[in-house]
Amino acid sequence: MHQRMFSGNKINIVRKNHPLFLGYLNEQLCAYASAQLSQKEGRLLYLGVDEEYRQQGSATALMEQVWNFLHDSCQDKITLVQSDKAQAAGKLYKKLGFKTIRRLLSAQLIVN
């Protein structure tokens, strides 16, 4: 699922400070989230929901679990980076109370 949504990126670390959250519906893996704890903040690294299970509350339920874990770990601030292409994710994050603090530009130059 992760490779389809974030091709070229891997989740290489799963530890106490780098938890992986899995969401199941009818015993099928339908969503996942990866987070990171630091001394200053909690960070959402990835959130993915299989296409078949979107718009059914899976992402919201999983984000509640991530929030609870980070908050219970004494993290008062949660940050994330979202692509402008991920409009549905942006709506979810806004609904959950996230606010845009800055926009990032990503660029690539191909030299033959």
| pLDDT for res 29 | 87
- 9 is a domain residue: yes
- The CATH number linked to 21 is 3.40.630.30
- 105 is a domain residue: no
- Which residues, 6 or more positions from 95, have their beta carbon under 8 angstroms from its beta carbon? 60
Q: How many alpha carbons fall within 13 Å on the CB side of residue 95? A: 12
Number of domains in the chain: 1
Range of the domain at 91: 2-95
Instruction: For the chain, give the mean pLDDT.
Output: 81
| pLDDT for res 5 | 47
- 35 is a domain residue: yes
E strands, the chain, in order = 20-25, 28-37, 42-49, 78-80
Q: Order the strands of the 20-25 sheet from edge to edge.
A: 20-25, 28-37, 42-49, 78-80
- 38 is a domain residue: yes
In the chain (112 residues long), the average pLDDT of successive 10-residue segments reads 51 77 88 87 88 89 89 80 81 88 76 80
- 41 is a domain residue: yes
Q: Is the pTM of this model over 0.75?
A: no
Residue 91 CA to residue 93 CA, distance in Å, equals 6
- Nearest-5° Cα angle at 15, 72 to 12: 130
- 89 is a domain residue: yes
- 48 is a domain residue: yes
- 101 is a domain residue: no
Under a CB-based contact definition with an 8 Å cutoff, are residues 76 and 68 in contact? Answer: no
